[in-house]
Amino acid sequence: MGESSTAHGKVVMNRAMSLDGFIAAPGHRMDWGGGRALADFVAPDDFAEVAAATGAMLIGRRTWDVGSRMAAEDPGSVDYPFSGPFFLLTHRPPEAPDPGVTVLSGDIGEAVATALNAAGGKNLEILGADVAGQCLERGLLDEILVYVLPVLLGDGIPISPPGLTRVDLEPISSARSGDATILRFRVRGSDRPPQSGYR
């Protein structure tokens, strides 16, 4: 990527996952049990460090809808201490536009470039199984960060979308954090050098 790649953060798929490999329960419910949010499983300092390294988020429509529904059901909850630009990748813009969200459609490469530029040198976080799958297929993803939670869902939305071709990963780190285990992998074939820590 040349010299410009050092001016940007990484493109990171960030996921909470049950031990049996599901990122959401059937119906796309992100219910990890006992009414606990993801933040209840992860050590606060680790959660805050990952959020602080994030400069922007690129989110798929289904994930956006699920997050909006969860926020409406529990309006006082703050699951992730992130404040930065949100980009919604969709061919179906929301009926009620949110002024804090930029809607993008079209090529995944252009969407990633736009959102990564807005991240201001920090990481771009990718949310949504379909968007992450598109990024993996196009070689746009640098890292995968997974919060493995101590629950077996038995069924739901798998971490990788159906039909994804094989992707080789390089382990970077594994650490216990509260009740979760944080795993971090570099996507092989990414031309950015691996970096230690959360940044």
Between helices 108-118 and 129-138, what is the axis angle to 10°?
100
Question: Is 92's pLDDT higher than 50?
Answer: yes
The CA distance from 149 to 178, in Å, is: 10
CA distances from 43 to 16, 46, 98 (A): 14, 5, 31
CB atoms within 10 A of CB 177: 18
The model's pTM: 0.84
Q: What is the mean pLDDT of the chain?
A: 83
Residue identified by tokens 């954090």 is: 177
Q: What per-residue confidence (pLDDT) applies to 175?
A: 96
Q: What per-residue confidence (pLDDT) applies to 169?
A: 95
Question: What share of the chain has pLDDT > 90, as a percent?
Answer: 49
| Burial (0-12, 13-18, 19+ Cβ within 10 Å), 99 | exposed
Question: Is 3's pLDDT higher than 70?
Answer: no
Q: What per-residue confidence (pLDDT) applies to 193?
A: 42
Question: Is 37's pLDDT higher than 70?
Answer: yes
Query: What are the structure tokens assigned to 168, written together?
Result: 């080789």
The distance of Cα 67 from the centroid of its chain, to the nearest Å, equals 13
Query: What are the structure tokens assigned to 32, written together?
Result: 């990890």
Query: What are the structure tokens assigned to 149, written together?
Result: 């939670």
